[in-house]
A = this chain, B = another copy of it.
Amino acid sequence: MSPDQPGQSPPDLPATSYVVLGLLSFGRELTGYDLRKWAMNLRFFYWSPAQSQIYTELRRLRSHGLVCERTEPQRRRPDKRYYRITPAGLAAFDAWLIEEPVAPPTLKHPVALRLFFGHRAAPERLRSALTSYLEWARAQTTDLAELRAALGADFPYPDLVAAWGEQHYAAEIAAAEATLTALDQPPDHRATPDTPG
């Protein structure tokens, strides 16, 4: 597939394309493998795509001329491919960042879903789901703190998001704990768990 000619209207790419493009907008030359690792760090506030998807997006971006590829031949296995964002890619990314309307977040919260259908479950099941979730959320918090430490002062905006994430998980922990407490009360005496503070 030949690259698109310059000067045409910005192709509207799937969200994941822009994620990859954004990761490359920091200016570094990266492999698909590298990109996957970076994308993993988005998991705290944006789901990270499957490995195979990254490679698909890179091929797509390349077909649009938004990234360029440098191959290093390997013996007895596929070439190693390094990707770098092109000026056109940077322009497309900026246009997306500035012009594209920002959709509200979507959340898929299986724990809350189980709780919603609590009338069909034994209370211990709900308690255990909540407890596991608490554990997971606490782990996320420490992971985020580690990430922030690794990021250092070089990436102020990612750091801002990571800080947001820390607050997010702290709130989730508080809410889950409040729910666990509320679950101990018999349903009719159950008080609305208020937002603390």
Contact = CB atoms under 8 A, between A and B. Distances in A.
Given A115-B161, A163-B192, A167-B174, A121 B102 contact: no
Contact of A187 (B26, B118, B136, B156): B156
A63 interface: no
A105 B97 contact: no
A161 B116 contact: yes
B47 A157 contact: no
Contacts of A115: 157, 160-161, 164
Interface in A113-139: 113-122, 125, 129, 132-133, 136
A57 interface: no
Interface residues of A, number: 70
A109 B102 CA distance: 9
A118 B167 contact: no
Interface stretch (A4-12, A70-78, A175-183): A175-183
Interface string A151-190: 0000011111101111110111011101100110001001
A10 to B, nearest CB: 15
Nearest to A93: B120
A107 interface: yes
A147 to B, nearest CB: 12
Given A26-B119, A90-B120, 14 more contacts: A22-B120, A42-B116, A45-B109, A46-B108, A46-B112, A47-B108, A93-B117, A102-B133, A104-B133, A118-B156, A156-B190, A168-B171, A170-B171, A171-B195
